[in-house]
């Protein structure tokens, strides 16, 4: 379903050139939940942004459902793939009502049954219709993330790109949002590509993971192998150990690795 092949990306020009992705390769099957893990700055979000069309100056090959992606964003691309960001407050227009936020993508794509789709989507994410007239600041963090998920799914894409979808939320609502994402994926057999720092989230949701370091995929492996300690790469093993037994010393070891 998702094919990432020899993906390279560089920011800046001349002396300020900074290459952040180096020959990134991985595949995600249809209906699979694939996690991208790795230290801050390793390029996880950048991979998602290339797939979402937010960065267009990449090199390599990107394909979704057998269709090669262009170096530009298009209406068709938005129907196929949508992204949910880490911070649901920053990603929702503060002066638009929830109804308007959900209607905008449907309008752009010329859907005529917009009312029905908006109501159905609100039901799916566990928000009642009264939310249509509210503004983002009148919602809790968890409710805002539900709206962001509804907006991403209202066009019925096959692929959802999730950038740390729970890390900005209170611990008490993180599980609710993870359960919602799991239910929605089951219901519509969606394909998820998810960036996370949290190996607990991986264990809860993901089927397979790709481990990134310094703009490269070190290895891809099943969640079972990751958790049972069958990773090939010492760096991956270090990440697992650090999450099991977090300590200041361990964090320093990971930073030095």
Ligand X SMILES: Nc1ncnc2c1ncn2[C@@H]1O[C@H](COP(=O)(O)OP(=O)(O)OP(=O)(O)O)[C@@H](O)[C@H]1O
* Residue closer to ligand X, measured from CB, 2 or 101: 2
Count other Cβ atoms within 10 Å, centred on residue 186: 10
Q: Which residues are near ligand X by CB under 6 A?
A: 11, 20, 38, 40-46, 195
Least distance between ligand X and beta carbon 189 (Å):
27
* Residue closer to ligand X, measured from CB, 168 or 250: 168
Least distance between ligand X and beta carbon 81 (Å):
17
* Residue closer to ligand X, measured from CB, 45 or 166: 45
* Residue closer to ligand X, measured from CB, 40 or 128: 40
Quote the distance between the C-alpha of residue 81 and its chain's center.
Answer: 11
Least distance between ligand X and beta carbon 123 (Å):
32
Least distance between ligand X and beta carbon 144 (Å):
19
Least distance between ligand X and beta carbon 62 (Å):
15
* Residue closer to ligand X, measured from CB, 17 or 172: 17
**Beta-sheet pairing, 33-38 with 208-213:** parallel
């Amino acid at each position: 379903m998702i094919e990432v092949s020899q993906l390279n990306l560089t920011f800046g020009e001349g002396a300020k050139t900074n290459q952040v992705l180096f020959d990134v390769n991985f595949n995600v099957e249809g209906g699979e939940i694939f996690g991208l893990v790795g230290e801050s700055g390793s390029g996880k979000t950048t991979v998602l942004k290339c797939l979402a069309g937010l960065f267009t100056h990449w090199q390599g090959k990107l394909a979704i459902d057998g269709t090669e992606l262009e170096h530009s964003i298009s209406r068709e691309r938005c129907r196929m793939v949508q992204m949910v960001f880490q911070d649901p407050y920053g990603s929702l227009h503060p002066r638009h009502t929830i109804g308007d936020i959900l209607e905008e993508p449907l309008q752009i794509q010329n859907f005529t049954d917009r009312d029905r789709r908006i109501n159905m989507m609100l039901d799916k994410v566990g928000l009642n219709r009264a939310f249509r007239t509210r503004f983002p600041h009148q919602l809790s963090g968890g409710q805002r993330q539900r709206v962001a998920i509804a907006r991403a799914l209202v066009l019925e894409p096959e692929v959802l790109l999730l950038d740390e979808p729970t890390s900005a939320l209170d611990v008490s609502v993180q599980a609710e949002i993870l359960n919602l994402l799991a239910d929605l994926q089951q219901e519509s057999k969606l394909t998820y590509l998810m960036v996370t720092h949290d190996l607990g989230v991986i264990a809860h949701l993901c089927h397979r993971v790709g481990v990134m370091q310094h703009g490269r995929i070190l290895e891809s492996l099943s969640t079972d192998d990751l958790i049972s300690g069958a990773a090939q790469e010492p760096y991956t093993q270090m990440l697992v150990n650090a999450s099991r037994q977090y300590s200041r010393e361990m964090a320093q070891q990971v930073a030095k690795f």
